[in-house]
Amino acid sequence: MVAGIFILGILAQFLARRLQIPSVLFLIFIGVALGGEGLGLVTYDLFGKGLSVIVGLSVALIVFDGAFQLRRERLREAPTVTLRLVTLGAVVTLAGTAAAVYLLLDVPLSIALLVGALLVATGPTVITPILEVVRVREHVASVLEAEGIINDVTAAIASIVIYETMVISDAGTAASLVAFAERLGFGLLAGGITAGVVYFVLTRDLIPGDAPQVARFFFLSGAIGAFALAEAVAAEAGIAAAASAGILLGNLELPHEETMETFGRDLTLIMLSFIFIALAALIDIDAMLALGVWGIALVLVVVLVIRPVVIAGATAGVERFTIPERIFLGLVGPRGIVPASVATLFAIELAAEGDAAMADVLTGAVFLVIFFTVVLEAGLARQIAQALSVSPMKTLLIGGGHISRALAERLEKRGEYVIIVEANEQAASQLREDGFTVLVGDGTEPDLLRKAGIEGAKQVIAVTENDNDNLLICQLARSKFGIEDVFARVNESSNMEAFDTLDVTAIDVAMAAAFVIDNEIERPAITHWMNVLGEGHDIQEVKITADDLVGRSIRELNKQIPGGCIVVVIARDDTTFVPSADDTLKVGDRLTFAGDEQAVQDAVKRFHPHD
């Protein structure tokens, strides 16, 4: 049976990749089909008392790997929003969910708080599969990842503390806070000790010939060791230990880091496949149905009230997050393995103590929220992202100089997903501090370009100060990766011919500067208007692809264009002209809108929503 679960889990991962649907959707349905509500092949008796060990080690590995991927630069993408989400956001989620459970399900406050604590967790077990198939900008992805890792720890510790101090005893709030701090402290200490040991061994190169294999072994040992060390002191401190060890090791200079990353990702997918199916098989459908309409009301409150309120508070005043991105974060917060596993173990203990009714309410409420959020939010995450237009294709800027910075600012103001590749670590660090997404490395290396996401890029722009580098980047983008829209900065006019042979759009820096100065002399008003683009004005070009626009006149089009925006130029085949009111549109025409920034953006979305 265990072998069968592994095989089905791997097949689910393959199917998810093929269909571009988060794998957790398939895993939960496979589990339900195998469980007591389906074929009855997977039950509590299959695992016996080993269930808690299997779940604990699996979660430790998954959390450790997710934390290992959580680099400092990722956390810097949106530090304010992340901090708000894992502090005040976690408290609001716990309190709001507990209040909803208490009022809607008529249970003791201790059980309501327990459910609230469990449902704080989103977790890498559901976020990672979503981000594998849904492309979002780096700051959005980093918030989801960091929230999942840190809130998994918060939920696990808070739930065990509430269970021990409020459900099975009456120790009071003060004792609960002390117990929470102790477990968190033990976890952080165990994680730090484990990370130190692993770092010492890996940096000493004790077995030179087998160094990559040793690195993989100690990656696995670090996850299990941190978890076991903390669990030996305090229950549920292990997740905090695994998370802290992963974050520490991920942000240290380690040999064979890429090998460990690949190993960790593969291991996570295997463990995720197994444990999600196993826990989904234990879902008690009858317990969920017994909650009736009040259970559905609870789900709606958690999904449509509490989550959006938390996201609104966390992103308030942070301009980098667009309104569609805030809506996406508010609609995508599925719960995962931590609440499922811990709730299952608590329910077993409550039932053993004769409180089967509360055990059913606990598992019913937690699994109902998990089931609905996984099916709806994870299952429809890609469609939600597409509907909100938060899945832009990447624009790669190779080179992080002043030209790249200025261009990145303009592109990001238009909602583009920009990644800057910069070789100089100090320059890259400064760009990150200024809010840009940066990858450090040589932009002429194919492997680095692949890591930056060039294979799915919308356009590549080479803007280094070295023409030979820019030429090589353009060759790679064109011939190796098949990018159609390639642009290059040309520093020496004599090199223009070499770029022209590649059929890329090359910009002669000297000629561009001369053109700008000439505009200042001959047409200063329009030049000044252009120079403040992004500060109230904008010009954008879109391609006509919609059949309902073909054959329509500019006069008809003007009635639908927002006020403060006009069509200034039409490009058709090899000609460009200023349209008259009676000119009609043809397939492939490129329209240039000019006017107020918001009006231009509205026009672009209205007439070419996927541009």
The whole-angstrom separation of Cα 145 and Cα 138 is 10
Under 8 Å between Cβ of 155 and 121: yes
The whole-angstrom separation of Cα 603 and Cα 594 is 10
pTM (2 decimals)? Answer: 0.70
Q: Where does a domain end: 388, 406, 433?
A: 388
Q: Supply 55's token pair.
A: 């779940």
User: Could you count the other beta carbons within 10 Å of the beta carbon of residue 148?
Assistant: 29
For residue 536, the model assigns a pLDDT of 67
Under 8 Å between Cβ of 401 and 334: no
Contacts of residue 577, Cβ cutoff 8 Å, sequence gap at least 6: 569, 570
Residue 106's CATH number: 1.20.1530.20
Q: Supply 1's token pair.
A: 């049976």
For residue 301, the model assigns a pLDDT of 95
529 found inside a domain:
no
3 state DSSP class of 302: helix
Strands 438-440 and 417-422, by their bridges, are parallel
For residue 563, the model assigns a pLDDT of 80
Identify the segments of the chain with pLDDT beneath 50. Answer: 533-534, 610-611
Domain containing 103 equals 2-41+53-388
Q: What is the residue whose two structure tokens read 């509360």?
A: 358
Same domain, 504 and 551: no
Same domain, 373 and 479: no
Same domain, 137 and 234: yes
Taking CB atoms within 8 Å and a gap of at least 24, the contacts of 204-208 are 205/255
Under 8 Å between Cβ of 195 and 203: no
Residues 18-72 have pLDDT tens digits of 877 778 888 888 988 988 778 888 887 787 777 778 888 888 888 888 888 777 7
Sign of CA dihedral 260, 265, 267, 268: positive
The whole-angstrom separation of Cα 441 and Cα 469 is 13
For residue 49, the model assigns a pLDDT of 74
Q: Where does a domain end: 361, 388, 415?
A: 388
Same domain, 85 and 228: yes
Residue 590's CATH number: 3.30.70.1450
For residue 529, the model assigns a pLDDT of 62
Q: Where does a domain end: 368, 388, 408?
A: 388
3 state DSSP class of 382: helix
Same domain, 465 and 322: no
The whole-angstrom separation of Cα 158 and Cα 163 is 8
For residue 104, the model assigns a pLDDT of 93
Residues 515-560 have pLDDT tens digits of 778 777 877 776 666 665 445 677 888 887 666 677 888 888 887 7
For residue 330, the model assigns a pLDDT of 93
Same domain, 361 and 400: no
523 found inside a domain:
no
At residue 5, what is the residue type? I
The whole-angstrom separation of Cα 327 and Cα 311 is 8
Same domain, 425 and 320: no
CA distances from 441 to 70, 259, 425, 444, 471 (A): 19, 18, 8, 9, 17
Q: Supply 329's token pair.
A: 């974060």
3 state DSSP class of 218: helix
Same domain, 378 and 416: no
Q: Supply 603's token pair.
A: 């026009």
Q: Supply 417's token pair.
A: 């997903």
Q: Supply 453's token pair.
A: 């996401």
528 found inside a domain:
no
209 found inside a domain:
yes
Give the chain's domain count.
3
Same domain, 413 and 377: no
The whole-angstrom separation of Cα 423 and Cα 428 is 7
User: Could you count the other beta carbons within 10 Å of the beta carbon of residue 103?
Assistant: 14
Same domain, 601 and 487: no
User: HEC string of 251-298?
Assistant: CCCCCCHHHHHHHHHHHHHHHHHHHHHHHHHCCCHHHHHHCHHHHHHH
